[in-house]
């Protein structure tokens, strides 16, 4: 059995456990390649029945247009139901206050929108496309990750997870985050996309775009990121290695226009994909802190 | 497609766990494997360099690559099981990295539960210590097919063959006593990299493989297909759509052996019989499914099957169907085991309630002998117990099948996972200890 077949079998097993153990699960869909693979695995896990849970997208209002178009097409193709939680609405309702300044990001704000959306729909399990190879805090998180009634993660008090037995039992008000692709690496994801011929948003392939440079990274020159006077935009051939919202997605100089070329490029890369994420650069323990607060 | 891409699509997966006492150099070894196999990216290395300087070290501390959480970096400890990933052109590896300090039993049991290989690390200067015997015992209890004894810090004993041979001979007798899986021995220096990825020039007397060569060639899942076929039913698939009006599929993951279309099967616990008419995986139909594939089975007859039932091949040795179960349990919770207490049992996809009837004995973790009588089973203790379940379980012994032979106990009030159980079915297994 190849490693991709084995990873696929494990993820499908986890997705079916979620459908069996929880009353109201939801799949967190971001439009990035990891959540696309997770959505595809969910479709495979229950075929020919429909995916027995809705997709939830937390929209910061700063998304690439391509992401939203792709999201709507995929939801239709897989016959899934989509629920959108809007950060802009949370701002309007006064639940959160927008950050100010040039490096303002809605990344932190979306935690509140996420928790509000989960509570409003009484979801008891939220499937996320996080991988343990992405980041140090994630390497320590369980597949079935328990959250208290405030949605928080307590890294020192996690339930032991043995063999492939997952314990999703919870008190009223508590919920779980479940990560079916925990054991996949970035390379596994790309190989699987190639093997299964999964279509991706065009942002992942090379395209010409107006960009500007900040702290050694390239960002899209779009209204969502206010630019300093010296940050003059210029045109480059770029692609996304990961997709978050516009404000935290670094672009890579690349001419790769096929999956084969992308895989070759990643195999030769000397920087992690989260090296391109502005949200992780804020401090060494940025992800740990956001996870404890209830982030994805 | 290029040959390189073809290679990427055809790798095998090997899961291993690491065990060692504090200061045996375990984090350094993992850091070394990741670093020398070029699995470390520049931004990760930069972060470690900066952290090494901040903590006042004069060289890059590879151990920092695996320290995850802020609390751990500040206190210089490892809290819990962490999972690491790296790949070579032939294999992808998943490391369950478990800390060596106080809660080591619980953590090592957790890490070992999904592993094919255990690497037990020892300090060549200290030789085999109590902790080594415990790690070997846990590897044996969890039935890991392969154990690698990595004799580290060889640089501090002048790469002495005599030191290596003495340790090796002593461990071979422990391995025989514990009926340990296939055992391998390696003289290494994790700090300098000797025999980790590259062969050392400082151990001319050692002609075996390096650690990475060994990890790349150890066989994976070699015997699972020969086991009696087991299929715990996870979920029933009923499309409720006109084009699949009569579709009724039983979704699950093969937990032993192999199922083929046309196989006669028995459904447990009802003992109803039927025949497999189709094996589906997404939109594809298969002729057979082996361990550990996730598939959907369809049967010839409309039988009443629900989650928790088990489909087995009628021609194979059946699993034991019983409400009395004897098991070796590793206790995982601060609340001690309550004899006579009720717990929730999760076994494959099945769930029921059980009462702990009796603690036969507990393992003295110092001597690995048995302590019987009125014993208290606390966190990190390993004990042999008997439980009575509300409904019978369908199980194999853990030594035959790690999936259908394992279960967890869950506290009825807190819902925490409190015990990890390995089912024993014969007396020889039950007396299993030194």
Closest CA–CA distance from residue A51 to any residue of chain B (Å): 10
Beta-carbon separation of A48 and B239 below 8 A: yes
Q: In CATH, what number is assigned to the domain containing residue B247?
A: 2.40.30.10
Mean of pLDDT values over A72-88? 91
What pLDDT band is residue A88 in, cutting at 50, 70 and 90? confident
- The distance of B70 to chain A (nearest Cα, Å) reads 6
Long-range contact pairs involving B356-363 (C-beta distance under 8 Å, separation at least 24)? B356/B385, B356/B386, B356/B387, B357/B385, B357/B386, B357/B387, B357/B388, B358/B385, B358/B386, B359/B383, B359/B384, B359/B385, B360/B326, B360/B384, B360/B385, B360/B386, B360/B430, B363/B137, B363/B433
Do B122 and B26 belong to one domain?
Answer: yes
Closest listed residue to residue A274, CA positions, set B385, B272, B41, B372: B41
Residue in chain A nearest B92 by alpha carbon: A3
pLDDT exceeds 50 at position B189: yes
Model confidence pLDDT, tens digit, residues B2-58: 555 666 677 889 999 998 877 777 888 888 888 877 776 666 667 767 766 766 665
Contact B294 A288 (CB under 8 A): no
* DSSP strand pairing (B417-424 vs B320-331): antiparallel
CA distance A157 to chain B (A): 9
Looking at the structure, tell me whether residues B23 and B65 fall in a common domain.
Answer: yes
DSSP state of B360: E
Same domain, yes or no: B260 and B161: no
Query: Do residues B308 and B346 share a domain?
Result: no
* A97 contacts: CB under 8 Å, gap ≥ 6: A91
For chain B, give the number of residues: 434
B306 and B195 assigned to the same domain: no
The two beta strands, B382-395 and B350-363, are antiparallel
Residues B259 and B396 in one domain: no
State ipTM. 0.91
Residue B339 has pLDDT above 80, yes or no: yes
Of B298, B313, B328, the residue at which a domain comes to its end is B313
Kindly state whether residues B69 and B167 are assigned to the same domain.
Answer: yes
Contact B93, B14 (CB under 8 A): yes
Are B276 and B414 in a shared domain? Answer: no
Cα separation, B369 vs B126, in Å, equals 23
B209 and B238 belong to one structural domain:
no
Q: Does the distance separating the beta carbons of B244 and A269 come in below 8 Å?
A: no
Residue position matching structure tokens 């063959």:
B161
pLDDT of residue B329: 96
- Domain containing B52 equals 3-217
Q: Are B250 and B242 in contact (CB under 8 A)?
A: no
The per-residue pLDDT for B1 is 47
Above 60 in pLDDT, residue A288?
Answer: yes
Mean pLDDT over all residues of chain B? 88
Residues of chain B above pLDDT 70, percent: 85
Query: In this structure, are B262 and B293 located in the same domain?
Result: yes
Of B313, B338, B355, the residue at which a domain comes to its end is B313
Contact A19, A46 (CB under 8 A): yes
The strand pair at B417-424 and B350-363 is best described as unpaired
Q: Are residues B229 and B344 in the same domain?
A: no
Residues B74 and B179 occupy one common structural domain:
yes
**Cα gap A270→B34, rounded to integer Å:** 13
- Chain A residues in contact with B109 by the CB 8 A cut-off are 162
**Confidence grade of residue A296 (pLDDT, cut at 50, 70, 90):** low
> Structural domains in chain A?
3-188+284-293 (3.40.50.620), 201-280 (no CATH)
CA B222 to chain centre: 15
CATH of the domain at B64: 3.40.50.300
For residue B242, give the DSSP letter: G
- The stretch A95-105 carries a mean pLDDT of 78
Domain C-terminal end among B313, B343, B373: B313
Kindly write down the DSSP assignment for every residue of B91-127, as one continuous string. EEEEEEE---STTHHHHHHHHHHT-SEEEEEEETTT-
Task: Answer yes or no: do B417 and A167 touch at CB < 8 A.
Answer: yes
- Based on the structure, what is the number of domains in chain B? 3
Residue of B nearest to A277 (CA): B43
């Amino acid at each position: 059995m190849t490693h991709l077949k084995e990873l696929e079998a494990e993820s499908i097993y986890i997705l079916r456990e979620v459908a069996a153990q929880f009353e109201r699960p939801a799949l967190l869909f971001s439009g990035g390649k990891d959540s696309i693979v997770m959505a595809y695995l969910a479709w495979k896990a229950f075929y020919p029945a429909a995916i027995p849970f809705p997709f939830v997208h937390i929209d910061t209002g700063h998304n690439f247009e391509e992401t939203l178009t792709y999201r709507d097409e995929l939801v239709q193709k897989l016959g899934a139901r989509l629920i959108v939680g809007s950060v802009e609405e949370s701002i309007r309702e006064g639940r959160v206050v927008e950050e100010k300044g040039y490096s303002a990001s809605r990344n932190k704000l979306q935690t509140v929108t996420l928790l509000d959306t989960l509570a409003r729909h009484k979801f008891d399990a939220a499937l996320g496309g996080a991988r343990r190879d992405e980041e140090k805090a994630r390497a320590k998180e369980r597949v079935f990750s328990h959250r208290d009634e405030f949605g928080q993660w307590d890294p020192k008090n996690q339930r032991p997870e043995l063999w492939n037995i997952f314990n999703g039992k919870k008190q009223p008000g508590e919920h779980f985050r479940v990560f079916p692709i925990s054991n996949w690496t970035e390379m596994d994801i790309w190989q699987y996309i190639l093997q299964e011929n999964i279509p991706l948003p065009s942002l992942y392939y090379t395209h010409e775009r107006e960009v500007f440079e900040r702290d050694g990274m390239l960002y899209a020159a779009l209204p969502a990121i206010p630019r300093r006077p010296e940050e003059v935009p210029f045109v480059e051939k770029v692609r996304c290695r990961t997709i978050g919202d516009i404000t935290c997605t670094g672009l890579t100089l690349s001419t790769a226009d096929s999956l084969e070329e992308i895989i070759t490029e990643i195999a030769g890369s000397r920087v992690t994909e989260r090296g391109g994420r502005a949200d992780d650069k804020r401090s060494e323990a940025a992800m740990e802190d956001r996870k404890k607060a209830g982030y994805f | 497609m290029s040959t390189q891409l073809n290679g990427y699509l055809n790798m095998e997966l090997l899961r291993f766990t690491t065990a060692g006492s504090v200061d045996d150099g375990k984090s350094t070894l993992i850091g070394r494997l990741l670093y020398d196999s070029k699995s470390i990216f520049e931004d990760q290395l930069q972060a470690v360099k900066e952290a090494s300087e901040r903590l006042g070290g004069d060289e890059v501390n590879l151990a920092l690559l695996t320290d995850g959480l802020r609390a751990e970096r500040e206190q210089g400890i490892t809290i819990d099981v962490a999972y690491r990933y790296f790949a070579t052109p032939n294999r992808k590896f998943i490391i369950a990295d478990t800390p060596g300090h106080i809660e080591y039993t619980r953590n090592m049991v957790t890490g070992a539960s999904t592993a094919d290989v255990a690497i037990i690390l020892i300090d060549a200067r200290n030789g085999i210590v109590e902790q080594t015997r415990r790690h070997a015992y846990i590897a044996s209890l969890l039935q890991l097919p392969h154990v690698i004894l990595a004799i580290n810090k060889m640089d501090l004993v002048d790469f002495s063959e005599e030191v290596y041979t003495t340790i090796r001979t002593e461990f071979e007798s422990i391995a025989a006593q514990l009926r340990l899986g296939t055992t391998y021995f390696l003289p290494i220096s994790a700090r300098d990299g000797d025999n980790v990825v590259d062969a050392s020039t400082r151990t001319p007397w050692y002609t075996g493989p390096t650690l990475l060569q060994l990890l790349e060639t150890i066989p994976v899942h070699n015997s699972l297909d020969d086991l009696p076929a087991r299929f715990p039913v996870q979920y029933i698939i009923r499309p409720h759509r006109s084009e699949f009006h009569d579709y009724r599929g039983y979704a699950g993951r093969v937990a032993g052996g192999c199922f083929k279309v046309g196989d006669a099967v028995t459904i447990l616990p009802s003992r109803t019989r039927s025949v497999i008419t189709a094996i589906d995986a997404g939109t594809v139909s298969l002729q057979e499914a082996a361990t550990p594939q996730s598939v959907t089975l369809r049967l010839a007859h409309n039988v009443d099957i629900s989650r928790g039932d088990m489909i087995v091949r009628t021609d194979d040795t059946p699993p034991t169907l019983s409400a009395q179960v004897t098991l070796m349990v590793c206790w995982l919770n601060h609340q001690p085991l309550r004899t006579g207490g009720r717990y929730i049992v999760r076994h494959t996809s099945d769930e029921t309630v059980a009462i702990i009837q009796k603690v036969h004995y507990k393992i003295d973790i110092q001597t690995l002998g048995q302590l019987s009588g009125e014993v208290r089973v606390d966190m990190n203790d390993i004990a042999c117990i008997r439980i009575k379940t509300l409904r019978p379980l369908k199980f194999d012994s853990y030594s035959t099948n790690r999936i259908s032979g394992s279960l967890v106990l869950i506290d009825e009030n807190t819902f925490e996972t409190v015990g990890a159980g390995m089912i024993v079915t014969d007396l020889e297994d039950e007396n299993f200890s030194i």
